[in-house]
Amino acid sequence: MKLIALAVERESSITGGQRGAALLVFMLLLTMSVAAFLLSGMSQFSRQLASPFHNASVLSQAKTALIAYARLSDPDLSSQTGLNHRYLPCPDQDGDGLAESPCGTNSAEGWLPWMSLGLPPLRDASGSCLRYAVSAAYKPGASGPPLIAALPDGDFTLNNSDGIISGGVVAVLFAPGVNVAGQSRGFAQNTATECGSTVISSDKNLAVNYLDTLAGIDNAVFPSFISAATMLDATTSFNDNLATILSSEL
């Protein structure tokens, strides 16, 4: 009987120890799970805070490169004229980084021609390459060359939800953000380029699948564009970030 009692006591003691160890393991796992959840939430919040700053940075790089291009790349350059014009490159239509040539006589929109500007393929916080619109008078082959002595106004108007911010905008840069409802950025069986697709008409290249609508203004349609006045104005259906170039900056 004494041996049986000792065995029961020992079994009871072992079981209690095992239960204590299991409880410690459970508490440790619970603590790690809670910590991981909190860190994940903080990471997501940090990314949300960082996105506008990243977008502002890449838009600024692109704007600086375009202004430099306008001041240094004059197709009419000669010993007699010097740098008397402020041409901007045509947009890139297939996402290979090269400006199209020619690109018609009207204002045009497409991918930022990063390779023609000597840039890497700049991407916004969502991973999308930047988009770019340029006024007709500043494109190569414009009917009236953009002389620095009398630079013409641009074709575009920039708005926010309160009204017009600026008129006569020469060029607009877009950080499109993630696609919103109704947008499709697939390229089917076409061949992908760095930013788009070799088939220009592919969904992968179309402005309507990148640029959004706010307060009745569609950024995929000329000549009016709109920007959210603040981060709070951005919604699940509008997340475009914009930068503009005025004639006075060229």
Number of H helices, E strands in the chain: 1, 8
Contact between 71 and 86 under an 8 Å Cβ cutoff? The reply is: yes
Residue-wise pLDDT for 165-208, tens only, equals 999 999 999 999 999 989 999 877 678 999 999 999 999 999 99
90-139 pLDDT tens trace: 999 999 999 998 888 899 999 999 999 999 999 999 999 999 999 999 99
> DSSP per residue over 111-145, as a string?
E--TTTTT----B-TTSPBPEEEE-GGGSTT-SS-
- The residue ranges of every structural domain in the chain are 55-249
Residue 82 has pLDDT above 80, yes or no: no
Phi, psi of 103 (to 5 degrees): -140, 40
Top-ranked range on mean pLDDT: pick from 9-18, 25-34, 38-47, 72-81: 72-81
Q: Rounded distance, CA 172 to CA 134, Å? A: 7
